Structure formats: structure tokens, C-alpha cells
Amino acid sequence: MAENSLYYIGIDVGGTSVKEGLFDEEGNLLGKVSVPTPPLTDEAGFAAVTNGIEQLMAAAQQSMLFVRGIGLAVPCPVPASGLITMAANITIDPTGLKEAIEERCPHATVRYVNDANAAAMGELWRGSAEGHRSMVMVTIGTGLGGGVVLNGDVVDGAFGAGGEIGHIRVNPDETRICGCGLRGCLEQYASATGVVNNYLLECEARGVEPLELTGPSDSLTVFNACRAGDEVARAAIDTMVEYLSRGLQIVSAVVDPEVYVLGGGTSASADLFLEQLCDRYAARAFPASANTPIEVAKLGNDAGIFGAAYVALRSVVREA
């Protein structure tokens, strides 16, 4: 490790843990720490984050003075202004946390970014989309998130809703209500929860007793059943693919990315649906975009810290 190099830190604030990673300017991950997520509203909570930064720099035997950028990935909308006004999934005082970090790292630029957008930037920097200038990340977990990158920069949106792919309306006839309050959102069919719902509805339609599931987002059981030859599970995955291909077709008509990257826990079962998804997307996409590649993410749970650090690095470069 070069003496007196400049360093960047990516912080991924999740519901259960805060993950922090130390990077150099080339995107090499030099160290990681993780702490249980505290309420980020007071000195004790802020200290949990800044102590993690100190641990990383101490392990690297480098001064805090050489931290030049810190990115904070959070599970809530982050508008282009960077001023967070909605944080339903975490307890956070975004201004207080930012000020605490700036006080401890006085030479660092500190930036917030939505967690799905951070994952997209991570995959662009050192993951499946490396070498591209534009990409769309589709994070298929309990819900369905997304991140859009154009010309190397994440699209936050004026109100922080940039990349909310899960809430593209793909079925205007849907009567069930999505978690966002709308109906017919892509998330209702193509998330882990959506796959389970597809399966249960298919069981009901066929008069079949469903398999025992561990919870409302236990898509793994459905995927494993498909691998074992369960026709109902296969039908549920087909429904996911049908709606996901519709969603990607809509995105391509607006964004026309160089590549799509599928992340989240459900992407681990992509062997069961990726080829079918590529075929169905190609069949309905605008001809110019029909051959857009669809890849599986490489960075896994580290995508957020990679991307948060990269957002900070790009901010520093622009300010220079």
C-alpha cells in the first residue's frame, strides 16, 4: 500500500448492519468492517459509523487526513440535491450523520446515494458492467429495486425516484395493491415476494396444495421446486419472466443502456430464467435495443460499498 495515497470509503447502511469498505483510487478493496445498525440520530449512532472509518484507516496504517471521499448508501430516495426527506426503512438524521463524518474526516467529500443506485455504480466500477458508460441494475430481492447509470453517473432524479424500476406499471388490470400504494407494479410479479405470490395464485388456480414456505418472500423454495420439475413453480417463474421482460422493454425505450445487470438474492437462481428472459425481452424490445445483454451481478453484498465509494470518488474528481 503506497504511503500517503488518497483513499475512499463506501458505507452501506442496511436495516441490520452498516458495512464499510476502504478503497484506493483504482477501486481495490483494502479492508472491510461491519457493525449492527444503530439509530443514526445521535452521537452514539454517529460514532458507530466514524469508529468504523477509524478502524479501517488504522488497519491500513494510514492517517484519517488521507480520506478524500466518503459515500453513504441508504435505503431511501436521495434526490439530486442530496437532501433526504423520506427515510421509511431506517432511523436516520442524515444531516447530523454527514456533519459528524465531516468533522472526523475534515478533508473528505461526503455524499449520500440510494442503495440500489450505489449497487449499480459498484457493478459499473468493478463488477459485471465494468468498461461501460451506461447500464441499468435490477436488484431482485424482497422488493425490486433499480439503478440507472448514464455517461458514468447515477440518475438520482429530481425527487429521488430515479431508477424505481419496481414501480413501473406493467399490468393495468391488477386489483391487488402494491406496497407503494399503486396497482400492477413490476415488483408485484418479479421480486422474491412476487415470485411467491405468482406461485400461490397458480396453486389456487390449479387447485394444488402449495409447498410449505418459510415466509412471504421465500422464492428459493419455489426455484428449488422448479429444479425438481414442479410445473406450478415453473409457471410462477414464467410469470416473473413475462412481466420482467415487459419492464425492461419499457426501460430500454427510455434509457437504451449498454447492459442490464441482475442483482439481489433472486439473481442466484438466474440459471432457471436468464435465457428465457433474454429471449422474451428481445422479442418485444424496440429492434435497435433487442440485443442488449443481460448479465448477472458479480459483486454480491459488496456492491453497495463499492458503489458508494465510487460516487464519492467521482464527486471529488468533479470538484477538483
| Boundaries of every domain in the chain | 7-121+301-319, 131-297
- Find where cell 478493496 sits: 29
118-138: average pLDDT: 96
Closest CA to 56 of 72, 26, 35, 33: 33
154-161: average pLDDT: 85
Q: What is the pLDDT of residue 165?
A: 94
All residues at 6 or more sequence positions from 103 whose CB lies less than 8 Å from its CB, including other chains: none
Topology of domain 7-121+301-319, CATH: Nucleotidyltransferase; domain 5 (3.30.420)
- Find where cell 436495516 sits: 15
> Reading across the β-sheet that carries 294-296, which strands appear in turn?
153-154, 144-150, 135-140, 260-263, 294-296
Q: What is the pLDDT of residue 89?
A: 58
Contact of 302 with 267, CB cutoff 8 Å: no
Task: Kindly give the residue spans of alpha helices, DSSP state H, lying in 71-227.
Answer: 94-104, 115-126, 187-190, 192-206, 219-227
Q: What is the pLDDT of residue 88?
A: 57
* pLDDT tens per residue across span 254-299: 999 999 999 988 999 999 999 999 999 999 999 999 999 999 999 9
In percent, how much of the chain has pLDDT > 90? Answer: 79
Integer CA distances (angstroms), 263 to 29, 143, 197, in order:
20, 12, 20
For residue 150, the cross-strand partners are: 153
Residue 229 has pLDDT above 70, yes or no: yes
131-297 homologous superfamily: ATPase, nucleotide binding domain (3.30.420.40)
174-200: average pLDDT: 96
Computed over every residue of the chain, the mean pLDDT equals: 93
Spell out where 260-315 has E strands. Answer: 260-263, 294-296
- Find where cell 430481492 sits: 141
Which of 116-120, 192-196, 245-249 has the weakest average pLDDT?
Answer: 116-120
15-41: average pLDDT: 92
Contact of 11 with 296, CB cutoff 8 Å: no
Q: What is the pLDDT of residue 157?
A: 85
Q: What is the pLDDT of residue 3?
A: 55
Residue 151 has pLDDT above 60, yes or no: yes
Cell numbers found for residue 31: 479492508
> C-alpha angle 244/276/221, rounded to 5°?
75
Closest CA to 97 of 38, 175, 170, 27: 38
For residue 22, the cross-strand partners are: 9, 31
Closest CA to 156 of 109, 120, 108: 120
DSSP count for the chain of H helices, then E strands: 9, 10
- Find where cell 426503512 sits: 89
Residue 53 has pLDDT above 60, yes or no: yes
To the nearest 10 degrees (0 to 180), the angle between helices 192-206 and 219-227 is: 60
In percent, how much of the chain has pLDDT > 70? Answer: 97
Which of 3-17, 209-223, 256-270, 272-286 has the weakest average pLDDT?
Answer: 3-17
All residues at 6 or more sequence positions from 229 whose CB lies less than 8 Å from its CB, including other chains: none
Residue 320 has pLDDT above 80, yes or no: no
What is residue 73's three-state secondary structure?
A: strand
Integer CA distances (angstroms), 146 to 47, 75, 149, in order:
30, 12, 10
What's the DSSP call for residue 273?
A: T
Q: One fold for both 7-121+301-319 and 131-297?
A: yes
79-102: average pLDDT: 80
Residue 30 has pLDDT above 90, yes or no: yes
